[in-house]
Amino acid sequence: MQEHLKFYINGEWVDPVTPKTIDVINPATEETFAKISGGSKADVDKAVAAARAAFPKFSQTSKAERVELLKKILTVYQKRVEDIAQACSSEMGAPIGLARSAQAGAGMGHLAATLKSLEEMEFEQQRGSSRIIREAIGVVGLITPWNWPLNQIAAKVAPAIAAGCTMILKPSEVAPITGVLFAEVMHEAGVPPGVFNLVNGDGPSVGQVLAEHPGVDMMSFTGSTRAGIIVAKAAADTVKRVSQELGGKSPNILLPDADFETAVARGVYACFNNSGQSCNAPTRMLVPADKMEEVLAIAKATAEKHTVGDPTKDATMMGPVVSEVQFKKIQGLIEEGIKEGAKMITGGPGRPEGLDRGYFVRPTIFGNVSNDMIIAREEIFGPVLSILPYDTEEEAIAIANDTVYGLSASVESKDADHALRVGRRIRAGQVRMTATAWDSFAPFGGYKQSGNGREFADWGIHDFLEVKAIVGYEGTANL
């Protein structure tokens, strides 16, 4: 049994003010494998005080100093990649191959992208008789989710460091061990005391307290739209900036000229990646009505190639979903799809054959879905794909936009210019074109109820900066 019962505050591992433990469950075994401490307002107060004390000096460090610090963090992170991957696999069920390449790899990618962006960024410019200065916003509260823990920790911590901010991180209490390991990375890299602080705990006891705290200047939150609304309301009384990356119900439009054999398979894999637990998963596949039967056959064959099981085995493609709560929610929504009359193509309720414990979900595909069905409107956050027909391109675009979300979308076509024209009309923060690789330098964030603000590389750094105008200065100092 692992025990991680201390918080990282002011450069030291410290005991919680009031001891309280939280069990961390391995979703593949349903057994407790670790314990963490749950924080309180008193712990948040200590962390905020440390961050505020560190801010005046750290905010005045030079860009060169922060570049060197990020380089050290990246170097230490690279040494700990296997530890991070193993922890990620245990705490949220990611297959170990995915945990190494994508989960731990995403953190490394964001550190590297932020480092490169910081090296190229200018924080001052002269505009006529005014000096425009971009400077650190202050003390920031960071709340990160369980589904891509290192992706979101690195995508917030790295740009906050680059901007000159000090911070308090609250990882998800469902998958907190990777956050503890990240704190160890920060300590070994020599991050100055108080610049980075970690307080574990649940949303009401730590997250909401951070959002309400008058000593916190900004909140950066990734999670559900429901929780994001709570954070925004809690932050409103102190008029702090709130940056949010929230839910999604992303459309994947296959235009009539797409290569359906490859496009459908690619869409299925993208939807089921990470057991479907990605806010930008393309969970609504929109296909020409006259291609529906062909698409369903390809999708069924692709889904049934997915090996579901023990995440410690290299051959496993899909592990469990993260918790009993998520498992029950997904099962309920699959049942809802059946009741609403969607055509079950493969999968369905219950665990995959041969698995009688663990929060494993059968890779599930529904065909002939209409966009008013619950399975087409709610974020399921599991390996469930809805395939919807359309008759015209205009109808496809209308269906794609008929959602409260606007985080991501995909367009498949052999004609890149055609895909671009369609992509321009989709109300989403990111539109991925045919076979596009992940881009850590592209802005990531949503329209509508998918949030506000943008993350990754220089876009993320700008989120943590304030803009100051010094009017009447016409010199050239430091330019």
HSE value, Cβ hemisphere, 13 Å, CA-based, for 69:
23
Give the pLDDT of residue 129.
95
Q: How far apart are CA 438 and CA 58, in angstroms?
A: 32
Q: Place 434 in a pLDDT band, splitting at 50, 70 and 90.
A: confident
**pLDDT tens digits for range 216-243:** 999 999 999 999 999 999 999 999 999 9
Q: How far apart are CA 105 and CA 441, in angstroms?
A: 15
Exposure string (b/e) for 173-197, b if CB count within 10 Å is 16 or more? bbbbbbbbbbbbbbbebebeebbbb
**380 occurs within a structural domain:** yes
Q: How far apart are CA 106 and CA 273, in angstroms?
A: 14
For the entire predicted model, the pTM comes to 0.97
Give the pLDDT of residue 351.
97
Residue 78 has pLDDT above 90, yes or no: yes
Residue 62 has pLDDT above 90, yes or no: yes
Give the pLDDT of residue 43.
98
Q: Place 206 in a pLDDT band, splitting at 50, 70 and 90.
A: very high
The count of residues in the chain is 479
Q: What CATH code is carried by the domain that includes residue 26?
A: 3.40.605.10
Give the pLDDT of residue 269.
96
Are 147 and 273 part of one and the same domain? no
Query: Mean pLDDT throughout 74-86?
Result: 98
Are 430 and 399 part of one and the same domain? yes
Nearest alpha-carbon partner for 37 in 67, 12, 66, 3? 3
Residue 46 has pLDDT above 80, yes or no: yes
Percent of the chain scoring above 70 in pLDDT: 99
**pLDDT tens digits for range 6-23:** 999 999 999 999 999 999
Are 85 and 59 part of one and the same domain? yes
Query: Mean pLDDT throughout 368-395?
Result: 98
**390 occurs within a structural domain:** yes
Instruction: Give the chain's count of helices (H) and strands (E).
Output: 16, 23
**235 occurs within a structural domain:** yes
Give the pLDDT of residue 478.
75
Domain containing 178 equals 2-246+450-471
245 catalytic per annotation: yes
Residue 435 has pLDDT above 70, yes or no: no
For every residue of 316-378, DSSP letters joined together read -SB---S-HHHHHHHHHHHHHHHHTT-EEEE--SSPPTT--SSS----EEEES--TTSHHHHS
Q: Burial, 8: exposed, middle or buried (Cβ in 10 Å; 0-12, 13-18, 19+)?
A: buried
Arithmetic mean of pLDDT over the chain: 97
Say if residues 181 and 81 touch (Cβ distance below 8 Å). no
Say if residues 363 and 306 touch (Cβ distance below 8 Å). yes
**478 occurs within a structural domain:** no
**444 occurs within a structural domain:** no
Are 255 and 242 part of one and the same domain? no
Q: How far apart are CA 105 and CA 117, in angstroms?
A: 18
Tokens of 368: 């002939």
Query: Mean pLDDT throughout 100-112?
Result: 97
Are 193 and 314 part of one and the same domain? no
Are 91 and 126 part of one and the same domain? yes
Phi and psi at residue 407, to the nearest 5°:
-85, -50
**96 occurs within a structural domain:** yes
Say if residues 139 and 168 touch (Cβ distance below 8 Å). yes
Are 242 and 320 part of one and the same domain? no
Are 290 and 433 part of one and the same domain? yes
Residue in 212, 245, 379, 412 annotated catalytic: 245
**164 occurs within a structural domain:** yes
Residue in 88, 279, 412, 455 annotated catalytic: 279
Q: What CATH code is carried by the domain that includes residue 366?
A: 3.40.309.10
Tokens of 465: 């900066």
9 has which bridge partners? 12
Q: How many domains does the chain have?
A: 2
Nearest alpha-carbon partner for 475 in 129, 135, 133? 129
Q: How far apart are CA 393 and CA 414, in angstroms?
A: 15
Strand ranges for 190-348 from DSSP E:
196-198, 218-222, 241-245, 251-254, 284-288, 343-346
Give the pLDDT of residue 438.
83
Are 413 and 384 part of one and the same domain? yes
Nearest alpha-carbon partner for 27 in 371, 437, 351? 351
Residue 474 has pLDDT above 90, yes or no: no
Residue 437 has pLDDT above 90, yes or no: no
Q: How big is the CA angle at 384 (ends 383 and 389), to the nearest 5 degrees? A: 145
Say if residues 454 and 428 touch (Cβ distance below 8 Å). no
Say if residues 450 and 405 touch (Cβ distance below 8 Å). yes
**Letter for the amino acid at 151?**
N
Are 209 and 349 part of one and the same domain? no
**pLDDT tens digits for range 247-272:** 999 999 999 999 999 999 999 999 99
**213 occurs within a structural domain:** yes
Residue 117 has pLDDT above 80, yes or no: yes
**pLDDT tens digits for range 268-317:** 999 999 999 999 999 999 999 999 999 999 999 999 999 999 999 999 99
Query: Mean pLDDT throughout 375-391?
Result: 98
Are 324 and 281 part of one and the same domain? yes
Largest CA distance in the chain: 74
Say if residues 270 and 229 touch (Cβ distance below 8 Å). no
Are 194 and 272 part of one and the same domain? no
